[in-house]
Amino acid sequence: MSTILGFDFGEVRIGVSMGSTELGIAHPLETIAFEENDKKFARIEALIKEWQPSALVVGLPAHLNGEEHEMSRLARKFANRLKGRFGLAVSLVDERLSSAGATQALNEIGLRGRKQKPALDQVAAMQILQSYFDGVGVITE
Query: Alpha-carbon distance 25 to 42, whole Å?
Result: 26
Asked whether the whole model's pTM tops 0.95, one would answer no
DSSP state of 106: H
Q: What confidence tens digit (pLDDT) does each residue in 94-113 have? A: 986 556 665 666 556 665 66
| Per-residue CA distances from 136 to 50, 127, 131 (Å) | 27, 11, 5
What is the pLDDT at residue 136?
72
Whether the pLDDT of residue 116 is over 60: the answer is no
